[in-house]
Amino acid sequence: MLAFIAGDTLIEIGLLGSLDEAKLWLLEQQGIKNVALNQKGTLEVVFAGSKEDQAQLLQMLAARFPVYYFNPTGNNLEELFMKITEEAADENQSFVS
């Protein structure tokens, strides 16, 4: 789970091709605070910027990598709680298996 503070946006990004290359590229972009690969095989990006900045990021990203999914989830506390509990449940399941 990536940590982010109020005002940051968590963006889930699905790409075809090299996720490592995309991760490195993203980390060089303005407003990107952190990038991690999640269990679904998509990137989770902590981003500080406006919706206009998100649109610009998407344009630049799509010019370099084939993007099939771009979902800014915001910083809604309910969404954050659901994500944390979902990941905790997934971790508990892996211990049981």
Task: List the domains of the chain with CATH numbers.
Answer: 8-96 (3.30.70.100)
Q: Which residue has the higher pLDDT, 15 or 7?
A: 15
Mean pLDDT of 9-38: 95
The answer on pLDDT for 15 being more than 70 is yes
Read off the pLDDT of residues 34-91 as tens digits, 9 standing for 90 and up. 999 999 999 999 999 999 999 999 999 999 999 999 999 865 555 556 666 676 666 6
- Cβ atoms within 10 A of the Cβ of 11, count? 25
pLDDT of residue 7: 74
**Residues in Cβ contact with 67 at an 8 Å cutoff, skipping those fewer than 6 apart:** 13, 14, 15, 58, 61
| The model's pTM | 0.72
Q: What is the mean pLDDT of residues 1-24?
A: 84
